[in-house]
Chains A and B, each alone.
Chain A
Amino acid sequence: MPFEPPEGFTMAYAEIAALAVRYGIGVLKIGAVVVVVNPRLAA
């Protein structure tokens, strides 16, 4: 049986979800840099 997307679901939502994941990973990476750099700034 072919995959049927839920009602109201469009490719735009899939694209936004993919963006959210990508940005979320980016934010976590930058957060990691902040955690490393911050103690040096506070010193």
Chain B
Amino acid sequence: MIPLYELWLPVLVSAALVVSMSYVLHRVLNYHLKDYDRLANEEEVLEALERLAVPPGNYPMPLPTTRREMMSPPFMAKRERGPIWLNVMKPFSLRKVVVQWFAYALMAGLFTAYLTAQAFDAGAEPGEVAPFAGMTAFVGHSLALWQRSIWYQTKWSRTLRSTFDGLVYGVLTGLTFAWLWPAA
């Protein structure tokens, strides 16, 4: 079996390609513009939030304090009646996000390397390595996104767009691993 450290180059290159491609998919192409809906009274809501001085945090509303309360008829009626709000209040730092995004891409590459090294020895055919590594990376980048739509009501259309991004990242990772796979 190929030791993991011998695959540092495909891990690094695929992570760099994934981050670069994500820039293209989100900033150059415009199909992610529909990911969010704009509130007609956005300014009013922002002013209200500022006035309330809501500290950074994750705020689902209504939020039960105990499991017992969650199952209680008054709480269930409240949730049934609505409104329900799932929101994140946080200052946004692009630099922090990009650093975390690159670290995440490296992590996805590492898991891909680990699994692919279990399956193939040095000198394996590109036609064998590419689909295996690519599918592994796709699963890593995409499948967990579906949980957002199942549990947190994120629009399925948005999740599907992000799943497509994961497919592109998977293809790039698969081809990179095939290209830089160690020779026999």
Q: Which residues of A contact B (CB under 8 A)?
A: 12-13, 15-16, 19-20, 23-24, 26-27, 30-31, 34, 37-39, 41-42
Instruction: Give the distance to chain A from B150, nearest Cβ to Cβ, in Å.
Output: 14
Q: Is the interface of A mostly helix, strand, loop or mixed?
A: helix
Task: Find chain B residues with CB under 8 A from A26 CB.
Answer: 171
Contact A20 B175, beta carbon cutoff 8 Å:
yes
Instruction: Give bound CA distance, A35 to B175, whole Å.
Output: 25
| Residues of B in contact, count (CB < 8 Å) | 19
Q: Which residues of B contact A (CB under 8 A)?
A: 34, 125-127, 130, 134, 155-157, 160-161, 164, 167-168, 171, 174-175, 178-179
Are A34 and B155 CB-contacts (below 8 A) given A19-B130, A23-B171?
no
Contact A12 B126, beta carbon cutoff 8 Å:
yes
Are A15 and B164 CB-contacts (below 8 A) given A23-B171, A41-B155, A42-B34?
no
Are A41 and B178 CB-contacts (below 8 A) given A16-B130, A27-B168?
no
